[in-house]
Structure 1
Amino acid sequence: MEDDFVTVSRDDEQARRVAGLILAFSNAKHALSNEELRNTYYPQASDEAFRKAFRRDRTAMSACGLSLVNVASEGQPGLWKVDEAASFPGGGSLSSKDALVLDVACAPLTHDPSFPHRSELRLALAKVDGSFGPSGSLERLFSGSGIDDGLLPPLLAALSGRREAVVTYQARGQEPRERRLRLYGSFGLRRQSYFVASELRDDGSWREPRVYRLDRFLSARVVSGSSYRIPPDFCVGDYLRLPFQIGPEVGTVTIQDLGCTEGEVAAELDRRGRHVDGRGGRCWEVGYSDPEACARWCVAHRLMPVGPREVTDHWDRVVEEACDA
């Protein structure tokens, strides 16, 4: 199987979010608003959940040496920038033990295609390793990713700087074609990165946003002098899919709650499917693209597919494998 489903903990989610926030603020040319931050990093959070999560993330960022300050006028929504005076006061230094801890903790993300800032992280770790003598870390960090990471810097620069990008993109089953895009957001799913973007039509208008897969980009460059604003009603969460829904839909599966489904999982099924009558508990009907991935996802979240047969057969086999192990 190409990708097994891996459960991501809340700590993992926060670590990735904080890493993204640190990079975004480090590269930002202007203060970032609550609206921008919420749409990009907290797309499914309520107002109160966003405030609490962002407060926790600011604390974590400060612990990493990057502090933020709210520069919005009194009574206005938050507008955040780096607090130069409070960030890295007096400089800092790493011991060889600190460098080793950083390597061990961060190296797995450098090989994770769903982490969009892995290229910058590799360079940062290589600089740290270089300060403590040659160790071959650069070659190790850049090997084995399977994706041309030279495409990430211009795409991330276009996204963070609100600059249009001219790309060559090959959609599934089609020939490569040059496109002009406005990138609105990105997300990771099943160890792959995706961008949500609007494409320029031949008549000069912009299409409705759609999802573009990172490994289908063949080239990318930022259009200097261009600029745009992300629509205020845009939410990257509207474009997320369940892990087994990537690709053309091949069928509909009925999934039954066994009585121990977490609230977040149930909410995702509510968003991506619909409730149906079930004898043994709550049931949902959702589309699927990969029957085996669907079965494994159900096992991971203590759900049971009721049908069709191609999904239930995979579910039975995965459960048997788990019992044998």
Structure 2
Amino acid sequence: MGGDSLASPDELKENLRRQIDDLQNQINQYRENISGLQSQGKSLNREISLLDSKMKSTALEIKRTDLSIQQAEMEIGNKNTALEEAEKKLGREREIIAQSIRQIDERDEQGILEMILKNQKLSDLFEEVNSLRDIQESIQKSMAEIEILKVDLANDKEILEGKIEELGELKNLQQIQKKALVSQQEEKKNLLAQTKGQESDYQKLLQKASQDAAAIRNNLYLLEGSGVSMSLEKAYNYAKLAGDLTGVRPAFLLAVLKKESSWGGNVGTGTWRKDMRPADRDAFVLICEKLGLNPDTTPVSKKPWYGWGGAMGPWL
């Protein structure tokens, strides 16, 4: 801790970035392990190993998100400091203008005749006129500086708002990750309780689950408002794929899909160029390329009166 307190903001930021990269490498290793386990035949040992790997991966993701939160908080602090300095500089420039205007007013009160009488020499009169011109140029320079500062302040405030929004999103993500970890721990606990560590009991559970799935496999989801039908099996498989990658239960993902978009019937009416936060646009275009979507025709949530829009709807 003592060493960190002496480090510069750039050094602290670089240290956080290295820690985040290190955690991401560990997470990637666990994901490879999970992928390998999923390709194996179903057995109790395989299922327990899979859950253990998912729990370790999720725990690392929580740590990584915590570091990202620290990074965002640091950037917010730095941006607040920069804004305070800009406000002070703006105040100084305004004071320079005020002083210059007062000097001009004093000379205006003298009048031309008084200025001529006060200055015995013609050179003194020219010097005072030049001084007045210098004051006017100083005012123009300060006014131009103020306009630049105003633009910079507006940009910095917009960036700060984006960072604050990003911080809120990270905290929400961490809560989801923590819930996923608890769910995985409960799943392992229940599995061990139901099977008592016996492979034969696990196979019985597997058979029952298969029968239950077969009973409802042909039921259809009517995607309300979209006019598209999808089998439960297909919807679940998409949720299962996402769950395997994120550690979030498929049932939870399906519930989010229903709540947020009514099974894909309610999608955004915004466009990425207009409604999406600039910091997210490159990632959005990359996601669209991966999914084979045209970013210009892919709807996103419309920007509200505050903040940004840009959330992607379900593309099942």
- Settle same-fold status: TM greater than 0.5: no
**Higher RCO by CA contacts (8 Å cutoff, separation 6 or greater):** 2
Looking at secondary structure, tell me which structure has more strand per residue.
1
Q: TM-score, normalised by structure 2?
A: 0.26
Query: Which has the greater radius of gyration?
Result: 2
